[in-house]
Amino acid sequence: MAESRVVVTGLGAVTPVGTGVDRFWEGLVAGRNGVGRVSHFDPAAFSSQMAAEVKDFDPEKWIDRKSASRMDRFTQFAVAAAEMALSDAGLAPGRFPPERTGVIIGSGIGGSASIEQGNAQMAAKGPRGLDPFFVSRVLVNMAACTVSIRHGLRGPLSAPSVACSTGANAIGDAFRVVQRGDAEVMLAGAAEAAITPLAYGGFCATRSMSRRNDRPEKASRPFDKNRDGFVMGEGAGVVVLENLNHALGRNARIYAEMAGYGNASDAYHITAPDPSGEGMVRAMRAALDDGRMPAEDVGYVNAHGTSTELNDKVESAAIARVFRNHAPRLKVSSTKSMIGHLLSASGAVEFVATVLSLFRGIIPPTINYEEPDPDCPLDYVTGGAEAVSFRAAVSNSFGFGGGNVCLAIQTYRSSPSKSPA
C-alpha cells in the first residue's frame, strides 16, 4: 500500500518566553531570554540556581478549576498545548473522525511535583495521607490520556519516554501512524514540569548544568567557547499531523509537510553522547533518506544545542559530516539559548519553532554567543533573527541514554516528493 503524505496543520506551545504560539514565536524572533533565578523554590543550597520557568501560564484558561486540581503541572501544560493546536488547526468537534484521531504525547519525568508532594504526605501522615489522585497525577501517560479523554479521541494512543528526545520521538511516531494509514489525524508532542527540588537537585548532581549563577541570563550559551552547561526549562509542545487528503478536504492551512524521521541509538553511555557522533549522523542521514531529501535542500538546522561542552562540539561535527560541502551554507541555531532545555518537551517545542521558521522564512537566533569555539565552526545565527528563504529544515533531538532523533520537514507543494496515497 502506498504511503500517505502527512502535513502539519496545527501548533501549540507553552514556553518560558511565552504561552501560546504567537508569544513564543515573537519571543524567539526578538531574542528574548527566558532564563532567571529559580522562583519555584529557594535554590540557595543548589550548585545551579537558575532555570527557564513558565511565568505566564494560567491553567484555568483551558481547564476548569476542579479538573486542573487533579492534574500535575506537566499534564496541565500538555492539555493547554493540545487545545491550542486543535484550535489552530481548525479542528472543532465534528470536523474530524474520533476513531481515526489519536494522541502520542510523552514526558520524561512525569508528575515531578506530585511525586515530591506525595512523598511529603506519606512522611507526615502515612499511607492514609495520600491523595486518591496521586497515581493519576504522576504517571507519564496521563498527559496523553487526559487529552484523549477530553476530546473523545479513540485512535492510537501512546506516551513515549525517551529522555530529551521524547517530544521528537512522539512526533516521528505519530508521523508513521498517519503515513501508514492507521489514523487520519494525530496530536503529538511532549510536556515537562520538573523544576522541583528533587528533580532539579538530581540534574545538579550530574554536573551537566550551568553554574553561572551571578548572571543567569547569560548561562545558556550554545556553541559559545565559554559554555559551562545547560539550563533546565519547562513547558510543552503539541502539533497536529494530518493525512494530506483529509487536510485538503477541509481546506486546512498547511504549515509544512513531514518528510522524514530518523531514529538511532548511540548504545554508548547512560548520559554522555558518543564522542564520535555516529548516532547523531545516522539519525540525520536516516531522516534525509526517508524524505528522499537532498542535503542541499536543507536551509536550516534547529540544533539540539544544549550549551554543554561535549554535546555542542559533537553535534557540530556530526552536522558537518552529514551535510559536507553544504554545511558552511547552513543556518544552524539553538532555541535553548532562550528557553533553556525543556528536557522531554524540548524536541516538540523546537519542532514548533522549526515549522514556523520554514513557514515564515525567518531563522531564530542563538543568543549569548560571544566567543567562537574552533570546535564549533558553523553559522549559528548569532547576530539576531535572519529572514531567509529555504525549502526544507531539520530539527535535532538527542537524549540521555543515547537516543538520537531527527525530524525533516519541507514546504508543502501539491506535486509530491514521494508517491501519494
Active-site residue list: 164, 304, 341
Cell of 236: 510543552
Total Cβ atoms within 10 A of residue 201: 15
Contact by Cβ (8 Å): 323, 330: yes
Rg (CA), the chain: 20
CA atoms of 221 and 1, how far apart (whole Å): 47
- Residue 91 phi/psi, 5-degree rounding, is -100, 75
- Residue 178 phi/psi, 5-degree rounding, is -70, -40
SS3 sequence, 252-312? Answer: CCCCEEEEEEEEEECCCCCCCCCCCCHHHHHHHHHHHHHCCCCHHHEEEEECCCCCCHHHH
Contact by Cβ (8 Å): 186, 104: yes
CA distance from start to end of the chain: 8
Residue whose C-alpha cell is 554543554: 308
Q: Name, in order, each residue with C-beta under 8 angstroms of 163's C-beta and a sequence gap of 6 or more.
A: 108, 343, 344, 399, 400, 401, 403
Q: Which amino acid is at 342?
A: L
235 alpha carbon, distance to own chain's centre: 9
Contact by Cβ (8 Å): 184, 178: yes
**DSSP letter for each residue of 45-56:** TSS--EEB---S
